[in-house]
Amino acid sequence: MSETPDPSPNVTPAFKAENEVFAPKSSTIISPNQFAFVRLPSEGMKIVELKPGGIINLGKFGAFAVDGVLGYPFGQTFEILDDNQVTPIESITYEADISEDVELSEGGAEAAGPELTKDELTKLFTNSSENNQNIINIGSSIQKLSSEEIDSLKKSGASSDFGQKIIEQIIAGHAGFDKKTIFSQQKYLKRKQQKFLRRFTMEYLGSSQLLKYYIEKDSQRVLDMSEETLGLLLNYANVRQGGRYLLVDETGGVVLYAMMERMKGQGTIVVAHDNEHPNHIALRYSNYQPSMVEDMVKPINWLQFMEPENERIDWVTATEDELNDMKFAKRQQYERRSKRAQEVNSVIDQVTTGNFDAVIVVSTLNLPSLVPHLIGTVGGSRPIVLYHQYKESLLDTQHSLSNDKRVLAPSIFETRVRPHQTIPGRMHPVMSMRGFGGYILWATRVFPKEGGVTAVGRGVSKKKKDEEAKVEEKDVVMEEAKDDKA
């Protein structure tokens, strides 16, 4: 089972989730023939396909049989046992429990000061979340380990307490361990856990997980978009069940997937793209049936979008006689072309009809020149949401939109999430985090009053006194009022 397996659209999952007419995949139960997201103790991540009877290799963390994890809810953490078997456990690391136990044994505020002895550490291990296993026996195995010895330990085979044994022995062999403060002891322990624990968490591959996977792999592929920015984009765009959206998505379909997830198969997304065919590579992990994707996602290329009348296909339906005269291959070709013509014309109709519930642009195209072509397709009072990895691009766009009276109150937003070390008594923001995440421009599509309006602003009363000057001043006043509103 490789990290990026081939998509297998023809596999029909044996499992059919209840109430999921359009998406016969489960978002709650680990189910066969579905892609899933694996978190490793190293904070690494993988996307795996759960083929019944298959074995999934997690590199140094071991390998496990797919059948062992099927049927558990997503989010479950497992420990790898002998012979690729797994057992469910509560947590991927011990971190939270350590702090708790230290406080119990040493009394709250003083916890930070005293050293943690090997015996106490042993106790921590046994009192850890994995309390269904009595796995540590430190007293009998104190020894100094060389890297060769660690290697040979690793090769000695997978057993349930393999990871802990190694960590235990490394700690035991660490002559200076007792002299470390509790902080560095814990850091050391965590590092070793990340290296040796044979554990993994099997998560549902939602849009956040998919985005995280791409951010780790190559953040440029998702244009540096962060999870919080994706969330902000979806909310500002008012994405919901049954909506009808125009989307430009250069993240390979991650934004598209996020929208499909929120809409759960109900609604329409017209996707404008700049090649012959759209790049929705991320959807291969979605487990959505091709028919459901076809129902929901309507691709249109920019040529068709910009010149709909030229690109519309004049399709002449063959008569019954003509159809009967066709040879099999010819008939097939006819059917294919007919279907394509209908699809192209129908998506062109979607765009010329317009009135979309939102336009969402996640693109590297020059926005000031692109966006004016999109505004007209958006329904009244619906949101226009633009994403860009650089604030400057949105800045230029906002300036160019400020003279477009079809757009109300454009604003640039930034959101950044700052994670904290979450241990009672020692809460603090983590020392480093990702710096990027992108920016959102949010505006509302409006219809300017025909013939213009006279705004209330500075100079209006003066203007009333001087009726003659009114016409000349009108534009100035408009500008001022706009400033007031901006």
Instruction: Looking at residues 201 to 220 of the shown chain, list those that interact with another protein (rule: CB under 8 A).
Output: 204, 206-208
Hey, what amino acid is at 472?
Answer: E
Binding residue for another protein, selected from 43, 82, 90, 294, defined by CB under 8 A: 90
Residue 11 engages another protein in binding (rule: CB under 8 A): no
Give whole-number Cα distances, 316 to 320, 338, 341, 342, in Å.
12, 9, 10, 11
- For another protein, the closer of residues 304 and 398 by Cβ is 398
Binding mask 117-156 for another protein (x = CB under 8 A): ------------x---------------------------
Residues 248 and 457 sit within 8 Å (Cβ to Cβ): no
Out of 114, 308, 379, 459, name the contact with another protein by CB under 8 A. 379
C-alpha–C-alpha distance, residues 415 and 292, integer Å: 33
Region of 200 (left: φ > 0; alpha: ψ -120 to 50; beta: rest) is beta
465 binds another protein (CB under 8 A): no
Sheet containing strand 439-445, strands side by side: 297-301, 267-273, 243-249, 358-362, 383-388, 439-445
Minimum CB distance to another protein smaller for 177 or for 236: 236
What number of residues does the chain have?
A: 486
Q: What sign results for the dihedral spanned by CA atoms 161, 167, 170, 174?
A: negative
479 makes contact with another protein (CB under 8 A):
yes
Q: Is 376 in the site for another protein (CB under 8 A)?
A: no
Please identify which residue in 57, 63, 100, 289 interacts with another protein, judged by CB under 8 A: 100
Verify binding: residue 167, another protein, rule CB under 8 A: no
Q: How far is the CB of 302 from another protein (least distance, A)?
A: 26
In sequence order, the β-bridge partners of residue 359 are 246, 384
Task: Select from 57, 91, 279, 289 the one that contacts another protein (CB under 8 A).
Answer: 91
Member of 133, 266, 289, 345 binding another protein (CB under 8 A): 266
Q: Does 312 bind another protein (CB under 8 A)?
A: no
Burial pattern 410-439, b for ≥16 Cβ within 10 A else e, equals: beeeebeeeeeeebeeeeeeeeeeeeebbb
Q: Which of 38, 47, 170, 232 forms a contact with another protein (CB under 8 A)? A: 232
- Listed ranges 40-48, 151-159, 224-232, 282-290: which one lies at the site for another protein (CB under 8 A): 224-232
Of 42-61, binders to another protein (CB under 8 A) are 52-53
Burial 326-362 (b: 16+ CB within 10 A, else e): eeeeeeeeeeeeeeebeebbebbebbeeeebbbbbbb
CA dihedral of residues 380, 385, 391, 396 (deg, nearest 10)? -30
User: Least Å distance between CB 424 and another protein?
Assistant: 5
Which window, 82-90, 163-171, 302-310, 326-334, contacts another protein (CB under 8 A)? 82-90
- Cβ of residue 239: shortest distance to another protein, in angstroms? 8
Enumerate residues 401-430 that contact another protein by CB under 8 A. Answer: 402, 405, 408-420, 422-425, 427, 429
396 binds another protein (CB under 8 A): yes
Closest CA to 207 of 39, 27, 420, 455: 27
Q: Closer to another protein at the Cβ: 121 or 232? A: 232
Footprint of another protein on residues 318-357 (CB under 8 A)?
A: 355, 357
- Of residues 428-457, those binding another protein (CB under 8 A): 429, 439, 442, 444-449, 453-456
Residues with Cβ within 8 Å of 49's Cβ and at least 6 positions away in sequence, in order, are 1, 5, 8, 33, 34, 35, 36
What does the alpha-carbon distance between residue 442 and residue 2 come to, in Å, rounded to a whole number? 40
Instruction: Kindly state the smallest distance separating residue 85's Cβ from another protein, in Å.
Output: 6
One residue of 35, 383, 387, 438 binding another protein per CB under 8 A: 383
Direct distance between the N- and C-terminal alpha carbons of the chain, in angstroms, rounded to an integer: 55
